[in-house]
Each structure stands twice: as C-alpha cells, then as structure tokens.
Structure 1
Amino acid sequence: MSIIDISEVKPGSHVTLHYRLSLADGAEVINTFIDKPATLLLGAGQLAPPLEDILLGLKVGHHSTFQLAPGQAFGPRNPELIQRVSLATLRENSVIGEDFSPGDLVEFNAPGGGRYAGVLKEVGETSALFDFNHPLAGQALAFEVKIIGIL
C-alpha cells in the first residue's frame, strides 16, 4: 500500500484555503478571509493558472502575500479584444426589453457553443463597443493565501 504525500500543494490537489486578491491600490476583488474558506481543485480552471502556480509547493499553514506584476495573473490587456458588436447581435443575446449601460458585463453565445463576456463601453447608432479582455488583465495584483488543508 502506498502512502500519498499530501504535505504540499501539487497539480491535481484539492486545496482548502483562504485567499484575498486585491488591486495595487488595495481595493479588494475577492476575500474569503471574511467568510468560509474556498476549496479548489488545482488544474480545474477555478483559479487563473498563474495563481495556481503560486500555490504549488506550499504547505498547510503557509500564509503570505504575493505581489504580481501588471498582466502577470490575467495576462496583458489586448487592444484587439476591444471590438464593435452590432446592435442586432446585442439584442439576440439579451432578454427582451433589457437595457444596457456602459460598464455592464454582457454574455454572448460563442460560435460552436459556450459563452463569452465583455464589458460594454459605449452604445452607438448601429453598434456597441465592448471590451472582451478579462477585467483584471493588465492589472498589478496582490494575492494573499493561507493554506488550511490539502487532499
């Protein structure tokens, strides 16, 4: 019978942890320290891969904050992901009578299935301008983690 070493985070580990993700100015994006901890399966896409990479090798009880350079966690901002969408396409993907305002996150049906989302920047006569970058793309972030358990 082999003994599984669960003393440190590895790819495929189930990790119970508290974590806080904040912007460089200190504004919190997510904070599990104020509520119950999260349990994540590494490699399942529940965290951005660069954030998962930070967890690899950490042990139960580890508590520290990691500073991530702009674009390190969610990639750089890509100007090609700022695109115009026809108002007809916008209507096809919305609930009847739904009004949109700049700053709204709107989901679209992707060709071939699936969904993708963009932030509405402006609405024109025939089209709307959307930013399909991840909202945290290009941002410097602080990632605080406290490992509670590893399975």
Structure 2
Amino acid sequence: MNTNIVKIGPGRQVTLHLAVYLDDGTEVLSSFGDEPIRFRMGDGTLASGLESLLVDLEPGANEQMLADGAALFGTPDGALKHRVPRSDLPKGFMLEPGQVIQFQTPGGQETPGTVLTADDTEVEIDFNHPLARRRLRIHAQVLDVF
C-alpha cells in the first residue's frame, strides 16, 4: 500500500475533468473533451460545496456523485427574487420562464438571473444560483493532485 499518494484537500493543486448534469441528463458544463480544469482548493474556481465533494479523491479517481444544488451553491434565498420593469431589458428581448440571462451589478460584476415569469410590463427574476434548486449528477476524473 502506497501511503505517499496525495489526496485532494485544502490548498492542494488539482487537475481534473469535471462535468455537471441536471437530473434529466442535460449537460450543464463539461471539461471532458477539452482542457482539464486546474485550480488550487479554496481559490474560488469551484463553489465550496462542489469542492467538498472532491475532498480525499486521489489521482486516477473517476467518480460519479449525486448532489443537491443547494448544498453545492447555497440555499435559495427568497430575498433574491426581484421584479424588474420590462423596459429595463433590451427592446424585443424574448423571455421565457427558466431562461438564464446575465445581468451586470452596479459594481460591474456579472451575475446570472433565472426568469420566473414575464408579462408586458414586468419580469420576475431569481438571482439565486441557477442550479441551487436542482438535483445534479457530478462526474469527476482526477488527473493530478500536488
């Protein structure tokens, strides 16, 4: 038994492939077939809840895990639902419930919002993480840890 194997933990540098799927099989993101993701645990590249699923995995691990989006991206907060005048959005912009669109905050950051309802005068937007209310399947293939 090799006790020198480095496992994923706080501050470790990790190289892996990662895919996230909705419970219906829809792929949300994937690095498979592309460049692997390289990051240091805790640097903010991945949500802390997602990082917690990776702790103690070692190079060569090829894991599939089920997760609740709220555990990975934070419990949805009702205060993050806002009604926005339709006139604040680009003219002719087609909106459908479930659609995720990017908004710019007053500080210049981009944040996603999920359209809940839309009529001729207002749009209700949920600014919680778009995956916070979903069941997810995570596929992680660990390439290197150091």
Q: TM-score range by the shorter chain?
A: 0.7 to 0.9
Alignment correspondent of 1:62: 61
What is the aligned length?
142
Amino acid paired to 2:73 = F
- Residues of 1 paired with 2:55 and 2:29: CA distance? 20
Query: Where in structure 1 are there 5+ consecutive unaligned residues?
Result: none
Distance 1:14 1:23, change over 3 A: same
1:28 partnered with 2:22: no
Looking at structure 1, the residues matched to 83 and 6 of structure 2 have their Cα atoms a distance apart, in angstroms, of: 49
Q: 1:31 and 1:110, CA in 2 relative to 1: closer, same or farther beyond 3 A?
A: closer
Matches within 5 A, 1:1-151: 7-69=6-68, 71-88=70-87, 90-91=88-89, 99-102=93-96, 103-151=98-146
C-alpha separation in 2, matches of 1:29 and 1:44:
22
Provide the C-alpha distance between the structure 1 equivalents of 2:20 and 2:27, rounded to a whole number of angstroms.
6
Structure label with greater radius of gyration: 1
What is the TM-score of this pair, normalised by structure 2? 0.78
Change (3 A) 1:49 1:136: same
Is residue 101–residue 120 contact of structure 1 (8 Å, CA) maintained in 2?
A: yes
Instruction: Single out whichever of 98-107 and 26-35 deviates more from structure 2.
Output: 98-107
Unaligned runs of 5+ residues in structure 2 are none
Paired residue type of 2:127: F
- TM-score w.r.t. the length of structure 1 is 0.75
Distance 1:68 1:121, change over 3 A: closer
**1: CA distance, partners of 2:28 / 2:38:** 18
Distance 1:7 1:64 in 2: 17
Per-residue deviation, 1:125:
4.2
Q: Say what the alpha-carbon RMSD is for the aligned residues.
A: 2.6
Deviation at 1:6, TM superposition (A): 7.5
